[in-house]
Amino acid sequence: MSRLAVDGGAPVRTRPFPTVLDPAGRTFGAEERAAVLEVLDGAVLNSSAGGPWLGDLEATMAGLHGVPHAVASSSGTAALHLAVAGIDPEPGDEIVTTPLTDFGTIAAILAQNAVPVFADVDPLTGNLDPASVEACLSPRTRAILVVHLFGAAAPVVELRALADRAGVALIEDCAQAYLARPAPGAPPVGTYGAAGCFSLQQYKHVTAGDGGLCLTGDAALAERMRLFADKAWPRDQGRFHQFLALNYRMTNLTAAVAAVQLRRLPDVVRRRRRLAARLLAAAGDLPGVHLPERADLHAWWVLPLVVDGGNRRWAEALTAEGVPAHAGWLQSPVYLYPALAERRTYGTSGFPLTSPPARRDWTYRRGLCPVAERLIDDTLVVLPWNENYTDADVDDIATALVKVTAGG
Ligand SMILES: *Cc1c(COP(=O)(O)O)cnc(C)c1O
């Protein structure tokens, strides 16, 4: 085997790959351009003032998932806040969630004065472990907020059953997992909980820069989420505000781009899966490297590898081969961020993480979720993935994986 690039050997690859930050790694075309110009030429940029695109986007999203209602908002974080506000927890109520997620998941809980309770994860997928979730339930639990990490469906059927038994809501954070399925022939993620939340931010499968979408089968919840995104102003009834709510409206410019992008989504996911199948065929059973098992259920937001250990060395070695890789994905589990570890919430109050309104003072420390910590510190390596990779791009990634496995 040739010497690793990290040790001075020749790299597998010197050309850069397409990324979500460059036109070659995105799917914008003439249709997005025309849609934006149509909105500008019509002069109505605010979606509550009229225009077809918001309704088009919501109908397309609902139709893609076979769900009656979709509600647009200004970001994935906003979509999650809509869902949490939609179930209307009491201050200090608990929402069980994962420490491996974007901070938006947690901000949505804290912003509605609920307490995030962190369950541990599966050591191979990083998705919530139902047994750990069950151990976190208490009489104050109001919801389970599951994240479908990296594009792999979390065990939502089990979590839904658990939530139903406990009499709490299930909310899905699908920001990384558009059209992922937990099993062949099963409905896509976002359709298992009371609400499924999606993001249209720059780094997701399809994008309008920023934007959010919530799916629900519950008409009353859809109406409450819709109101929450518009200051709880029932515009068809009068100028009054029904409850405390924010302005999370999506603009028509965003809706126009998002509606066109969403039509491309099935093809984006199909292409990511085809390329992943090629990668799995070439490098799917390397010793000591765990990859997602099936190409066809995963949404392939990224390519996650779980190695036996030494993830930093792995990421350095792959990056030196010309295949950018990141150790651990996050710098730490979300509960070690200052916002939580130092309870930087509202002034110096620590609200709602203190008793009252919480049933106890919540402290978040290293050691809380050992499996998640080990993934970040030692075993998880994340590679970007893109629907515009060529077969040759994927072959270079496979070659680098094989080389680093043999030399590492
Ligand atoms: C991106 C992301 C979010 C937040 O979405 P924004 O649109 O950036 O607010 C939330 N959860 C997960 C899992 C994400 O990947």
Testing ligand 1's pocket by substitution, the residue of 102, 174, 202, 254 carrying the most ligand atoms inside 8 A of its CB is 102
d(CA 213, CA 278): 31
Is 128 within 8 Å of 159 (Cβ atoms)? yes
- The ligand 1 atom at the shortest distance from the C-alpha of residue 200 is 7
User: Residue 267, exposed/middle/buried by CB under 10 A (0-12, 13-18, 19+)?
Assistant: exposed
> Does an H or E element contain 283, and which?
helix 252-283
Look at the block and give the residue holding tokens 């068809």: 236
In the three-class reduction of DSSP (H, G, I as helix; E, B as strand; rest coil), residue 214 is classed as strand
> Is any ligand 1 atom within 6 A of the Cβ of residue 125?
no
Facing residues of 326 across strands?
382
- The arithmetic mean of pLDDT across residues 15-42, rounded, is 98
pLDDT tens readout for residues 267-294 = 999 999 999 999 999 999 999 999 999 9
Testing ligand 1's pocket by substitution, the residue of 128, 173, 189, 248 carrying the most ligand atoms inside 8 A of its CB is 173
What spacing in Å lies between the alpha carbon of 288 and ligand 1's midpoint? 30
Is 231 one of the catalytic residues?
Answer: no
What spacing in Å lies between the alpha carbon of 280 and ligand 1's midpoint? 27
pLDDT at residue 84 is higher than 60: yes
Is 144 within 8 Å of 168 (Cβ atoms)? yes
d(CA 305, CA 288): 10
Domains and CATH numbers, the chain: 30-263 (3.40.640.10)
* HEC secondary structure over 63-111: HHHCCCEEEEECCHHHHHHHHHHHHCCCCCCEEEECCCCCHHHHHHHHH
Cis bond upstream, residue 357 (ω within 30): yes
pLDDT at residue 395 is higher than 70: yes
pLDDT tens readout for residues 129-161 = 999 999 999 999 999 999 999 999 999 999 999
Closest C-alpha among 92, 75, 56, 116 to residue 246? 75
Tokens of 251: 């603009």
- The arithmetic mean of pLDDT across residues 233-240, rounded, is 95
- The arithmetic mean of pLDDT across residues 217-239, rounded, is 97
> Is any ligand 1 atom within 6 A of the Cβ of residue 176?
yes
pLDDT tens readout for residues 337-380 = 999 999 999 999 999 999 999 999 999 999 999 999 999 999 99
pLDDT at residue 271, as a whole number: 98
Long-range CB pairs of 60-63 (<8 Å, 24+ gap) are 60/259, 60/262, 60/263, 61/198, 61/213, 61/215, 61/262, 62/215
> Is any ligand 1 atom within 6 A of the Cβ of residue 104?
yes
- The arithmetic mean of pLDDT across residues 183-198, rounded, is 98
Closest C-alpha among 256, 201, 200, 189 to residue 42? 256
What spacing in Å lies between the alpha carbon of 318 and ligand 1's midpoint? 26
Is 78 within 8 Å of 192 (Cβ atoms)? no
What spacing in Å lies between the alpha carbon of 77 and ligand 1's midpoint? 6
pLDDT at residue 389, as a whole number: 98
Testing ligand 1's pocket by substitution, the residue of 147, 172, 174, 176 carrying the most ligand atoms inside 8 A of its CB is 176
> Is any ligand 1 atom within 6 A of the Cβ of residue 73?
no
d(CA 225, CA 72): 9
pLDDT at residue 1 is higher than 90: no
> Is any ligand 1 atom within 6 A of the Cβ of residue 196?
no
DSSP state, 390? -
What spacing in Å lies between the alpha carbon of 103 and ligand 1's midpoint? 8
Is 126 within 8 Å of 304 (Cβ atoms)? yes
Catalytic residue among 204, 205, 264, 403: 204
Atom 6, ligand 1: residue with shortest CA distance? 76
- The ligand 1 atom at the shortest distance from the C-alpha of residue 78 is 9
What spacing in Å lies between the alpha carbon of 207 and ligand 1's midpoint? 12
Q: What is the mean pLDDT of the chain?
A: 97
> Is any ligand 1 atom within 6 A of the Cβ of residue 75?
yes
The model carries a pTM of 0.98
Confidence of residue 2 (pLDDT cuts 50, 70, 90): confident
